[in-house]
Chains A and B, each alone.
Chain A
Amino acid sequence: MQLNEKPVLQVKNLTVRYGDGCPHCQEKLEKNRCTVCGTVWAANDVSIDVYPGEVLGIVGESGSGKSTLMQSLYFDLEPTSGSAFLSGYHNGEDSIWNASAAEKRNIKNCVMGMVYQNPVRGLRMDYSAASNIAEKLIAAGNREAGFMTERAKELLTSVEILTSRMGEAPKNFSGGMQQRVQISKALANNPSILLLDEVTTGLDLSVQARVLDLIRRIRAQYGISILLVSHDLAVIRMLADRTVVMLDGRIIESGLTDQILEDPQHAYTQQLVHSLL
């Protein structure tokens, strides 16, 4: 992790709201829903930096805005306001949210990799595992079937899936295997940042451990930056260098992971840490 370098990803003042908002929203909002106009502030003035090689964890309860942040970054959701800069897009000078449709597609396929909590969102379940990886390569302009097959073999081997199963559809795989195929798909074009949205949720403990080991290995092997969303503090403790705590669409605390977990300052973080550890 190089904190003195230029961030790989910089999010500034991200706001995602459902509703028109009102003066009361701006002044006296206590929760993420305005009691006057009913507007929901899914993300409210969220700013984060992710540095090269760093794993930034985002933790918070359901509805705190973690997934809203991820979905905004991966263009699954249109932010109301704010900007996001990626070092791999126009050298970090223009916000990715102002990019054209073709540029956004290129960012999704080449600059970022996304692993969803639910593999159905990230994989084509009826296509083979190899094709799932090739999809990213094709989208990046590759037109060599042989190269794509070799790359699929290499990536599936790195996530411990037998190459003899690369022709099988992920719908025939276990949950853990599906997550590993998703990870290999996300890595297909050597992205500069990986977005992991609750990747271990719903997996049993032994499978969780394998997936977490895999993420650690990938980070060491590729030196890739990771934005990791989880509600599981054990996962955050294991993987994240720095951690951001979100509540009601806002960032309430941030710092080094050890510091956040050992000496939480905000009342909610204290409650979270003590209730889980």
Chain B
Amino acid sequence: MKSAENYNYAFLDEGSKREIRRCVLKAVAIPGYQVPFGSRELPIGRGWGTGGIQLTLSLIGPDDTLKVIDQGSDESVNAVNIKKFVRLTTNAEVTSDTRKATLIQSRHRIPEIPLENNQILIFQVPIPEPLRIVEPREEVTRKMHAEKDYAPIWLQLYESIIRYGKVTISTEYPCTVENRYIMNPSPIPKFDNPKLHMSKCLYLFGAGREKKIYAVPPYTNVVSLAFDDVPFERESFKGKKCRLCGSTDTYLDEIFDSETGERFYQCSDTSYCREVRLNAAE
């Protein structure tokens, strides 16, 4: 696809974008509720972020600035190609600066810099249903949500405690939204779960293959599941720091150098890491 002349603005036709925006409104009105939508065909395969892209394409306007991250990185193949595609069909500005972006499409991370109320974070979600791990049938999980029957997911946490002495879920850690629906916060690490709580920005979750959209509006109560006597705990990077910027309070990726056998840590959020280094240099 070299020229965008033959395509509608933001690739999708206006009717499709309007339908997706209606679903977004419903999702915002019922925080954590999975709204079904007619997922469109895109020039990328299902499972490569089509849910997130459809949300981005439906919401992006000429004045928006887009940032796309993949596991915290602005430069991964997936992030770069999504940026190229959106830029080609909208001519919108793209950036790697979290503060400048009005729309941020993300695969599996929330940026380290707290987001503001003029920003929207769009997640690419592979499996939107938090109960899928305990119940394979869609009609049953829908009923379970309707009846607020969440005992099986609590049981999953308890089983983890019995087997390993602690809750071992590291990503897709389920959380309750506004004390009603249990939500799968896309596969973000549980380190990022607290950032969903009472956030200033709007979080949108799009699952293209599963045809579901859900949302966490600004200033929404989002609580990660935890037993009264076993509190929720984020990943701990105690005693470790980013080898590039020296940060100790960010989510760190562990990198293993097979040649030297050395193991070191680096900020997962590459733009944040770069900013810290630039500030230090100045």
Residues of A within 8 A of B (CB): 101-102, 105, 124, 127-128, 130-131, 134-135, 138-139, 143-149, 166-167
Known: A128-B163, A143-B228. 7 other contacts (CB 8 A): A102-B148, A102-B149, A130-B162, A131-B155, A135-B151, A145-B227, A146-B229
Question: How long is the Cα–Cα vector from A125 to B162 in the complex, in angstroms?
Answer: 15
Question: How long is the Cα–Cα vector from A202 to B143 in the complex, in angstroms?
Answer: 35
Least Cβ–Cβ distance between B49 and chain A, in angstroms: 33
Report whether A149 and B154 are in contact in the complex, using a CB–CB cutoff of 8 Å: no
**Pick from A101, A105, A131, A144: contact of B162, CB under 8 Å:** A131
Given contacts A105-B149, A143-B228, contact A149 B155 (CB under 8 A): no
Given contacts A149-B162, A167-B162, contact A127 B228 (CB under 8 A): no
Tell whether B159 is near chain A: CB-to-CB under 8 Å: yes
Report whether A138 and B159 are in contact in the complex, using a CB–CB cutoff of 8 Å: no
Question: How long is the Cα–Cα vector from A10 to B167 in the complex, in angstroms?
Answer: 43
Q: Which residues of B contact A145 (CB under 8 A)?
A: 158, 161, 227-230
Least Cβ–Cβ distance between B136 and chain A, in angstroms: 14
Question: How long is the Cα–Cα vector from A147 to B161 in the complex, in angstroms?
Answer: 13
**Pick from B147, B154, B229, B230: contact of A105, CB under 8 Å:** B147
Report whether B227 and A128 are in contact in the complex, using a CB–CB cutoff of 8 Å: no
Least Cβ–Cβ distance between B167 and chain A, in angstroms: 9
Q: Which residues of A contact B151 (CB under 8 A)?
A: 135, 138-139
Report whether B159 and A131 are in contact in the complex, using a CB–CB cutoff of 8 Å: yes
Given contacts A105-B147, A139-B151, A143-B228, contact A148 B158 (CB under 8 A): yes
Report whether B155 and A138 are in contact in the complex, using a CB–CB cutoff of 8 Å: yes
Question: How long is the Cα–Cα vector from A131 to B230 in the complex, in angstroms?
Answer: 16
Q: Which residues of B contact A144 (CB under 8 A)?
A: 227-229
Report whether A127 and B159 are in contact in the complex, using a CB–CB cutoff of 8 Å: yes
Question: How long is the Cα–Cα vector from A77 to B143 in the complex, in angstroms?
Answer: 18
Given contacts A145-B227, A146-B229, contact A101 B147 (CB under 8 A): yes
Given contacts A131-B162, A149-B162, A167-B163, contact A143 B147 (CB under 8 A): no
Q: Is the interface of A mostly helix, strand, loop or mixed?
A: helix
Chain B residues touching A, range: 10 to 19
Q: Is the interface of B mostly helix, strand, loop or mixed?
A: helix
Q: Which residues of B contact A143 (CB under 8 A)?
A: 154, 227-228
Q: Which residues of A contact B147 (CB under 8 A)?
A: 101-102, 105
8 interchain pairs (CB within 8 A)? A127-B155, A128-B163, A130-B162, A135-B151, A143-B154, A145-B230, A146-B229, A167-B162
Least Cβ–Cβ distance between A22 and chain B, in angstroms: 34
Q: Which residues of B contact A147 (CB under 8 A)?
A: 229
**Which of chain B's residues has its CB closest to A140's CB?**
B151
Given contacts A102-B147, A105-B149, A139-B151, contact A128 B229 (CB under 8 A): no
Question: How long is the Cα–Cα vector from A24 to B11 in the complex, in angstroms?
Answer: 67
Q: Would you list which residues of chain B between 129 and 159 have a CB under 8 Å from chain A?
A: 143, 147-149, 151-152, 154-155, 158-159
Least Cβ–Cβ distance between B25 and chain A, in angstroms: 29
Report whether B159 and A128 are in contact in the complex, using a CB–CB cutoff of 8 Å: yes
Least Cβ–Cβ distance between A78 and chain B, in angstroms: 15
Least Cβ–Cβ distance between B265 and chain A, in angstroms: 31
**Pick from B143, B152, B162, B228: contact of A128, CB under 8 Å:** B162
Most chain-A CB neighbours within 10 Å: which of B147, B151, B227? B151
Least Cβ–Cβ distance between A118 and chain B, in angstroms: 21
Most chain-A CB neighbours within 10 Å: which of B158, B159, B161, B227? B158
Q: Which residues of A contact B227 (CB under 8 A)?
A: 143-145
**Pick from A102, A138, A166: contact of B158, CB under 8 Å:** A138
Q: Which residues of B contact A167 (CB under 8 A)?
A: 162-163
The 8 closest A-B pairs by CB, nearest first: A145-B227, A139-B151, A131-B159, A138-B154, A138-B151, A146-B229, A145-B230, A144-B228
**Which of chain A's residues has its CB closest to B226's CB?**
A143
Question: How long is the Cα–Cα vector from A167 to B155 in the complex, in angstroms?
Answer: 14
Question: How long is the Cα–Cα vector from A138 to B143 in the complex, in angstroms?
Answer: 18
Question: How long is the Cα–Cα vector from A34 to B209 in the complex, in angstroms?
Answer: 50
Report whether A134 and B155 are in contact in the complex, using a CB–CB cutoff of 8 Å: yes
Q: Which residues of A contact B162 (CB under 8 A)?
A: 128, 130-131, 134, 149, 166-167
Question: How long is the Cα–Cα vector from A101 to B148 in the complex, in angstroms?
Answer: 11
Question: How long is the Cα–Cα vector from A186 to B228 in the complex, in angstroms?
Answer: 24
Q: Which residues of A contact B228 (CB under 8 A)?
A: 143-145
Question: How long is the Cα–Cα vector from A163 to B222 in the complex, in angstroms?
Answer: 37
**Which of chain A's residues has its CB closest to B146's CB?**
A101
Q: Which residues of B contact A138 (CB under 8 A)?
A: 151, 154-155, 158
Q: Which residues of B contact A127 (CB under 8 A)?
A: 155, 159
Least Cβ–Cβ distance between B166 and chain A, in angstroms: 10
Type the 1/0 row for B211-246, where 1 means its CB is closer than 8 Å to any CB of A: 000000000000000011110000000000000000
Q: Which residues of A contact B158 (CB under 8 A)?
A: 131, 134, 138, 145, 148
Least Cβ–Cβ distance between A26 and chain B, in angstroms: 36
